[in-house]
Structure 1
Amino acid sequence: MYPIATRWAPFIALFVLLILVYQCATPTQPSGGPPDRTPPQIEETEPATRTTMFDGDRIRFHFSKYINRNSFQTAFRMEPDLNIRYDISWRRRTATVRFEDPLPDTTTIIFTLGTDLADTRNNRITAPFQLAVSTGPDIDEGKITARIRDARTGRGKEGERIMLYRHPVDLSVGANYVGESDTSGLVQFQYLREGKYKAFWLDDRNRNRRWDREREAAQPFSTDTLVLDREGEADLGRIFIIRADTVAPVLQAVGMLSEVRLRLRFSEDVEISEDAHISVYLEDHTYATDAVPLFVDPDNPNILFAQARDPLPDEAVYHLEMQGITDAAGNPADFDIEPFPGSDEPDTTFARYIANESRFGAAPDEPIVFRYAKLLDDSPAILDSLIVVESEQTHQPWPHAEIDEQFLKVYPDGEWRRGENYEIRVWDESRMEHVSIQPRILFDDELGALSIRVEEPRTDSTRHRARLVDP
Structure 2
Amino acid sequence: MKLILTRKYAIIYFSLSGFLFLYSCAAIQAPPGGPKDIIPPELVHAVPADGSIYFAGGQVELVFSEYLLESSVEMSIRIQPSLPEPPEIKYRGRTLWINFPDSLAENQTYIISISRDLRDEHNVQLGQGLQIAYATGAEIDQGKISGKIYYEKPAVVHLWKIVEENDLSQFYKRSPDYVTDTDDDGNYLFYYLSPGAYKLLGTDRSFAGLPLDPERMIYGLSWNNIIQLDSVNTKDGINMRITNKPRSIRLVRGEWQSKNWGRLIFSDNISNYEKLLPVRILKDSAVIVSKTFLDELDQNILHFMLRDSVPGGSHIIISIPAVSQGEQTIIDSGKVTIRTPMELDTTYLDIVYPKSGFEIEPEQDRIVPLDIYFSRTMIDSIGKNAVQLFADTTSFPFDIQWLSPLHLQINPMDNWKPRSKFSLVVAREGIFPFFGRSIQDSIQTIQISTTRYKGFGNLIGRIEKPYPQPLIAELIPLEKEQSKQRTVVNSNSEFEISHVSEGKYSLLIFNDLDGIRNYSYGQVDPFRPAEWFQFLPDTISIRNNWDMEITNIQLKQQP
Q: Normalized against structure 2, the TM-score is what?
A: 0.50
> CA distance change for structure 1 residues 395 and 190 in 2, over 3 Å: closer, same or farther?
same
CA contact (8 A) 1:108 1:133 kept: yes
- Alignment of 1:81 with 2:147, yes or no, is no
- Alignment of 1:380 with 2:383, yes or no, is yes
Unaligned 5+ runs, structure 1: 1-6, 252-265, 278-291, 303-321, 363-367, 388-393, 412-421, 439-445, 460-471
Unaligned 5+ runs, structure 2: 1-12, 254-264, 280-291, 301-317, 321-329, 391-395, 417-421, 427-444, 455-485, 489-514, 527-559
Q: 1:429 pairs with 425, 429, 444, which one?
A: 425
- Alignment of 1:450 with 2:516, yes or no, is yes
Q: Please tell me the root mean square deviation across aligned C-alpha atoms, in Å.
A: 6.2
Letter in 2 for 1:407: H
| Shift in Å, 1:234 | 0.7
> CA distance change for structure 1 residues 435 and 76 in 2, over 3 Å: closer, same or farther?
closer
Q: 1:212-237 CA deviation, whole Å, 9 max, x = no partner?
A: 34543443201141222222111243
Q: Distance in 1 between matches of 2:186 and 2:26?
A: 38
Partner of 1:144: 145
Partner of 1:123: 124
Secondary structure of 2:111's counterpart equals strand
Q: How does 1:89-168 map to 2 (within 5 A)?
A: 89-150=90-151, 157-168=153-164
Letter in 2 for 1:80: P
CA contact (8 A) 1:351 1:376 kept: no
> CA distance change for structure 1 residues 71 and 330 in 2, over 3 Å: closer, same or farther?
farther
Q: Distance in 1 between matches of 2:220 and 2:353?
A: 47
Letter in 2 for 1:158: P
Letter in 2 for 1:380: G
Partner of 1:407: 407
Partner of 1:221: 222
- Alignment of 1:45 with 2:41, yes or no, is no
Q: 1:95-131 CA deviation, whole Å, 9 max, x = no partner?
A: 1111234222322211111111112332211211111
CA contact (8 A) 1:200 1:221 kept: yes
Partner of 2:9: none
Letter in 2 for 1:405: P
CA contact (8 A) 1:81 1:175 kept: no
Letter in 2 for 1:144: I
Secondary structure of 1:223's counterpart equals coil
Q: 2:15 pairs with 9, 20, 28, which one?
A: 9
CA contact (8 A) 1:383 1:397 kept: no
Q: 1:5-37 CA deviation, whole Å, 9 max, x = no partner?
A: xx982764853xx44xx3x54433433344433
Q: How does 1:23-422 map to 2 (within 5 A)?
A: 25-150=26-151, 157-168=153-164, 170=167, 171=171, 172-203=173-204, 207-244=208-245, 370-373=371-374, 375=378, 379-381=382-384, 401-402=401-402, 404-408=404-408
| Shift in Å, 1:149 | 0.7
Q: Identity of aligned pairs, percent?
A: 21
Letter in 1 for 2:67: Y
Q: 1:279-322 CA deviation, whole Å, 9 max, x = no partner?
A: xxxxxxxxxxxxx9998989xx99xxxxxxxxxxxxxxxxxxx9
| Shift in Å, 1:183 | 1.2
> CA distance change for structure 1 residues 269 and 138 in 2, over 3 Å: closer, same or farther?
closer
CA contact (8 A) 2:28 2:92 kept: no
CA contact (8 A) 1:201 1:218 kept: yes
Partner of 1:281: none
Q: Distance in 2 between matches of 1:8 and 1:395?
A: 90
Q: Distance in 1 between matches of 2:200 and 2:194?
A: 15
Q: Distance in 2 between matches of 1:34 and 1:185?
A: 29
> CA distance change for structure 1 residues 166 and 347 in 2, over 3 Å: closer, same or farther?
closer
Q: Distance in 2 between matches of 1:295 and 1:10?
A: 77
CA contact (8 A) 2:179 2:208 kept: no
CA contact (8 A) 2:75 2:117 kept: yes
CA contact (8 A) 2:397 2:414 kept: no
CA contact (8 A) 2:359 2:449 kept: no
| Shift in Å, 1:141 | 1.4
CA contact (8 A) 1:223 1:236 kept: no
| Shift in Å, 1:458 | 4.8
Larger Rg over CA atoms:
1
Q: Distance in 1 between matches of 2:78 and 2:61?
A: 14
Higher fraction of strand: 2
Alignment length, in residue pairs? Answer: 376
Secondary structure of 2:117's counterpart equals coil
Letter in 2 for 1:79: Q
Letter in 1 for 2:516: L
